[in-house]
Each structure stands twice: as structure tokens, then as C-alpha cells.
Amino acid sequence: MNETVQVRVLGREYSLRSEQSARQVQRVASFIEELLAETVAGKAVDTRDAAALTLLNLAGRYLQLLDQQNQQELFDSRLQELVTQLEAEVSGC
């Protein structure tokens, strides 16, 4: 069920329709506000620049997580291959 949730980001109100709960949408908005605050901490930065820098930081974090996940999947796959080989060797004895 889609519900409309009001959030405030960079001092502007937005009405968002989401399948997520209102609590989750507010959580996302709060997270974005925190990232924006980290980005501009004590600096005079244009709102558009702050948003762009925050998006770049967030995308960088996201891509790092994807890389870590891919590395873990490769590791898991290789580990499974080794376990299969070991089981074959043990059962062949």
C-alpha cells in the first residue's frame, strides 16, 4: 500500500508516495540530512553543491559496498568449490 509521507530536506518540504512505512521514509530523509550536514560542516556551500557532493559521497559508499559484496560472493564461490573438491577427495579414499 502506497502512503504519502511529508519529509523535509534542505529546508524544503516534500510529499513522497512510498510503499515503505512512514517511519522508514523519515529514516531515509534523516539519513540524507545527516549526510548533507557532514558534507557542509562549517563551510559556506551552495545548496546545489551540497546536494551534489552528498550524492557523490553516497554513491561512493554504495559502490564500495557493492564491491565488497561482489568480493564476498567470489570468495564464497571459491570456498564452495574447494569444499566440493575436498569432499570428493575424502569420499574417494
Q: What pLDDT score was predicted for residue 44?
A: 84
Residue 1's pLDDT band (boundaries 50, 70, 90)?
Answer: low
Instruction: Render pLDDT for 57-86 as a digit per residue (tens, 0 to 9).
Output: 999 999 999 999 999 999 999 999 999 999
Residue 13 region, left (φ>0) first, then alpha (ψ -120 to 50), else beta?
Answer: beta
Residue 65: give the domain boundaries.
3-91
- Please give the Cα distance from 3 to 17 (Å, whole number): 5
pTM of the model: 0.68
Total number of domains in the chain? 1
Q: What pLDDT score was predicted for residue 45?
A: 81
The answer to whether 45 and 37 are in contact (CB under 8 A) is: no
